[in-house]
Structure 1
Amino acid sequence: MKTLGVIGGLGPMATAYFMELVIRMTDAACDQEHLPMIIYNRPDTPDRTRYILGLSNENPQNLMVETGRALVRQGADRLVIPCITAHYFHPYLELQIGKPVLNLIEETAAHLKKFGLHTIGIMATDGTIRSGLFQKELEHQGMQAVIPTEKSQRKVMHLIYENVKAGKPVEFSLFREAEDELRLAGAQVIVLGCTELSMIKKEFPIGPGFLDAMEVLAMRAIEECEAPLKEEYRCLVTR
């Protein structure tokens, strides 16, 4: 098996959950059959959304490159970033680090296309939504994206920053309100396009018709590092 390097800490809880997902999804009968991982937890990485929106001059990409290079020096063969907004910087990071960095955006769209879906709702940070990361890739792969209204987007950001990142209880009613709007707009599946939203899925029975992009990242990391994937994780859309 290849060694997986994790550019972590964006945020810390999401990084810990990513590791849990990789372990849970690997078809291993003993410790020795699990994937070797090197995790560099860097919560001091500047906020990606604030930089993308022009609210901060602190560019996070240099620290992410430094982290990735450190992982490569320690023996990482493949790299992942359990932060979706950070994929705004993906081309630069892969070029500067000099090792393959899994592109979670492309992999998520490919997974949806594989199952014949065509209208996809997006829940994500302002940075991810406004940069069009998912919208452009879904369109590139022949699908249509549905994004929240400004009012609903504020609810999603509140869940991400004021609930999960702040370590406070999740106001799940806000999640349902944002979901209902996307369903009414025609979304067949809603992508949880922020790793903090993955934490909500972990804690709450969100029901059918969701795809957690973090699970896609874990699945593809396992496959890319040539470890066996459990059969029940071949389709990640909730039922």
Structure 2
Amino acid sequence: MILGVIGGLGPMATAYFLELIIKMTDANCDSEHLEMIIHNCPSIPDRTNFILEKSKENPITPMIRIGNQLEKQGVSAIAIPCITAHCFHKELANFINVPIIHIVKETASLLKENGVKIVGIAATDGAIATKLFQNELASVGIDTIIPKKKTQGYVTDLIYGNVKAGKPVDMNKFSVVSKELRQNGSEVIVLGCTELSLIKRDYTIGSGYVDAMEVLAKASILSCQGLLKSQYNDLITK
């Protein structure tokens, strides 16, 4: 089975997603790893700007085009290592005849299985505004906490001003966001943007986090009948 990837949103997150797939697969040789077709298209318009009507450039059209190309190339499933893009999951699924792994549904299932009741969300303004995580988690009986306006600004700075810009991460801002979400009752904090996944990769962030891109990598491996290393059965940091 072949995994298709609609990538480039952003490029470094896509590169890390490929790394996660390889690292998390239980393989003893090259041929036991997943076959993947990755279309890295960083020119896809910014999803949050479109959602918040700061731009009229529609990111859905190029994603459908790429999805259709991957479909013709024979992929069995499609992963999109961009969480905000899942705000358009229904529209994409209407035009792409290959299952698109839903990163937010998979994350909600993982948290439900672990008995988590209250979750803090660190995500883009677009994902927060559309209640992407809030609605999905509510559907499985999990309450959500989002940052206050000023603190959400810190999340945006981390995503756009630090990681996407290729600049050092302001871990003080990350700590402020985490502290606020914890103080307001969050048992687990979801890193709900693939740029935030890179912070987990490069820094020690502590316990009680789940990286949604790790969830996507796990679901991708299993959906393409790959084998998962046992240490990735539980993705909540200890």
Which category of TM-score, normalised to the shorter sequence, fits these structures?
Answer: over 0.9
Q: Write out aligned runs for 1:70-89 (5 A).
A: 70-89=69-88
Q: Write out aligned runs for 1:80-119 (5 A).
A: 80-119=79-118
Structure 1 counterpart of 2:195: 196
Structure 2 counterpart of 1:26: 25
Q: In structure 2, how many angstroms separate the alpha carbons of the residues matched to 1:147 and 1:214?
A: 19
Structure 2 counterpart of 1:147: 146
Structure 1 counterpart of 2:158: 159
**Structure 2 spans left out of the alignment, 5+ residues:** none
SS at match of 2:54: coil
Q: In structure 2, how many angstroms separate the alpha carbons of the residues matched to 1:105 and 1:178?
A: 20
- Offset at residue 40 of structure 1 (A): 0.1
Structure 2 counterpart of 1:221: 220
- Offset at residue 85 of structure 1 (A): 0.1
Q: In structure 1, how many angstroms separate the alpha carbons of the residues matched to 2:227 and 2:172?
A: 38
SS at match of 1:153: helix
- Offset at residue 110 of structure 1 (A): 0.4
- Offset at residue 232 of structure 1 (A): 0.6
SS at match of 1:176: helix
Structure 1 counterpart of 2:119: 120
Displaced runs of 4 or more, over 6 A: none
Structure 2 counterpart of 1:187: 186
Q: In structure 1, how many angstroms separate the alpha carbons of the residues matched to 2:49 and 2:22?
A: 32
Describe the superposition over 1:29-78 as per-residue Cα deviations: whole angstroms up to 9, x where unpaired: 00000000000000000000000001110110000000111111112110
TM-score in terms of structure 2 length: 0.99
Q: Which amino acid aligns with 1:191?
A: V
Q: Which amino acid aligns with 1:151?
A: K
Structure 2 counterpart of 1:11: 10
Q: In structure 2, how many angstroms separate the alpha carbons of the residues matched to 1:216 and 1:130?
A: 22
SS at match of 1:152: helix
Q: In structure 2, how many angstroms separate the alpha carbons of the residues matched to 1:33 and 1:85?
A: 31
- Offset at residue 25 of structure 1 (A): 0.4
Root-mean-square deviation (CA), in Å? 0.5
Q: Which amino acid aligns with 2:142?
A: M
Q: In structure 2, how many angstroms separate the alpha carbons of the residues matched to 1:56 and 1:162?
A: 19
SS at match of 1:54: coil
1:35 paired to 2:34: yes
Q: Which amino acid aligns with 2:178?
A: E
Describe the superposition over 1:10-31 as per-residue Cα deviations: whole angstroms up to 9, x where unpaired: 0000000000000000000000
**Structure 1 spans left out of the alignment, 5+ residues:** none
Structure 1 counterpart of 2:136: 137
Q: In structure 2, how many angstroms separate the alpha carbons of the residues matched to 1:94 and 1:225?
A: 18
Structure 2 counterpart of 1:236: 235
Q: In structure 2, how many angstroms separate the alpha carbons of the residues matched to 1:224 and 1:94?
A: 17
TM-score in terms of structure 1 length: 0.99
Q: In structure 2, how many angstroms separate the alpha carbons of the residues matched to 1:95 and 1:207?
A: 40
Q: Which amino acid aligns with 1:218?
A: A
Structure 1 counterpart of 2:66: 67
Q: In structure 1, how many angstroms separate the alpha carbons of the residues matched to 2:28 and 2:93?
A: 33
Q: Identity over aligned residues, as a percent?
A: 54
SS at match of 1:79: strand
